[in-house]
Amino acid sequence: MNLPDCYKEVRKLTEQICAPLHTEDYVVQPVADVSPPKWHLGHTSWFFETFILKPYFMGYQEFDPQYNFVFNSYYETVGTRVIRTDRGNLSRPTVADIYKYREYVDEAMDKFLSSEPAADIKELLILGLNHEQQHQELLYTDIKFILGHNPLFPTYSEDYRPPENEKNTGSPFVKMNEGVYEIGFSGEGFCFDNELGRHKVYLQNYEISPLLVTNGEYLEFINAGGYQDFRHWHAEGWDWVNKNNVIAPLYWHNINDTWYNYTYTGLELIDWDDTLCHVSYFEASAYAAWKGMRLPTEFEWEAAAGQFNWGTRWEWTESAYLPYPGFVKASGAIGEYNGKFMVNQQVLRGASEVTSPGHSRVTYRNFFQTYLQWQFTGIRLAK
């Protein structure tokens, strides 16, 4: 697909994700990690306006200079930002105004893309599209959080279809041999800066499961008192469990001794054959310890990824999010994209059922804090 069409398709998908929402759903921010959908809509447009239209499109008129103040995220180099926890306090700009803003930016981009941009601008554009795809996934997860924490448990869309479950073919763990492996992105096409620097790592013998953990398997951990036994947990995880009274994955509700979970189609009986979802790293790690196994490192995952299916859950790994050898931050605001988060977070590999099509790849490095459950996160065991 050519770049202008690509641009249109990505931008359209963002709006399709929001189509089932009521105006009110666009506004709220129940916790700091969840952003209001209208903020995602504005922020992704702001990205193209700020990094492409304003510097490179001669004669472009900014839609509204105040929007920089409202839709900037963590880009410290681009003016004063709205403190992140305040996003949910802002009723203005309205949703209608933000859609106007998107339209305005899209029209300008359309004109701008009518002539072939220079290579470095193209790169920025592709980064912007990948950035928007990341926010598409966040829209899905944030919408689920907003509706799933409403006492009325409203349906997002009756049309939402989760992926088919993997067949449990009884396959044994995949055995991998000790030796030197190459890790990191190579070849053509887009990747983030944190995947670059393809390099050798030495792995020991290991085995990795071809299947993800199911709800039913995880229920055994719950029923065995897993949340009450500190021995399975990191000290910090154990504190998290107790301070927050965690007793199950996010969206699970035990009502009169029956387990339900909240889904995009409302509150439903849990399907025990479904792939487990919405667990924190602490839970993933405790479950693995209880099974007498462990999580794979991100290198083990990447080396073996050709031998199993992946793509329905972001898979927690045993690897902390750290720079690859030779990693260098880009200069300017774009350089704030990844490097500054390389501390106290854990790597997730794969993709999830709400990751945008074509967005992820086998070298993709996702990362989140160890206590977060609101992404579509799952568990693959290793030993």
Residues lying near a copy of itself in the complex (CB under 8 A) are found at: 22-30, 38, 66, 69-70, 74, 76-77, 82, 86, 88-95, 146-147, 149-152, 154, 180, 199-202, 204, 206, 230-231, 233-238, 281-282, 285, 294, 318-320, 322-323, 325-326, 335, 340-344, 346, 370
Contact criterion met (CB below 8 Å) for 101 and 42:
yes
With respect to a copy of itself, which residue has the nearer C-beta, 64 or 271? 64
For helices 281-290 and 235-243, angle between their N-to-C axes, nearest 10 degrees = 120
Backbone angles phi, psi at 281, to 5 degrees: -60, -40
With respect to a copy of itself, which residue has the nearer C-beta, 4 or 323? 323
With respect to a copy of itself, which residue has the nearer C-beta, 87 or 135? 87
With respect to a copy of itself, which residue has the nearer C-beta, 83 or 118? 83
β-partners of residue 214 are: 275
Distance of CA 209 to the CA centre of its chain: 23
Q: How far is the CB of 241 from a copy of itself (least distance, A)?
A: 12
Q: Which two tokens stand for residue 83?
A: 């403190």
Q: How far is the CB of 214 from a copy of itself (least distance, A)?
A: 25
With respect to a copy of itself, which residue has the nearer C-beta, 201 or 279? 201
- CA-to-CA dists, residue 363 to 28, 166, 196, 279, angstroms: 34, 22, 9, 22
With respect to a copy of itself, which residue has the nearer C-beta, 55 or 325? 325
- Total residue length of the chain: 383
Give the span between the Cα atoms of 299 and 47, in whole angstroms: 32
Cα of first residue to Cα of last residue in the chain, in angstroms, is 42
Backbone angles phi, psi at 94, to 5 degrees: -70, 165
With respect to a copy of itself, which residue has the nearer C-beta, 38 or 278? 38
HEC string for 297-363: CHHHHHHHHHHCCCCCCEEEEEEECCCCCCCCCCCCHHHHCCHHHCCCCEEEEECCCCCCCCCCCCC
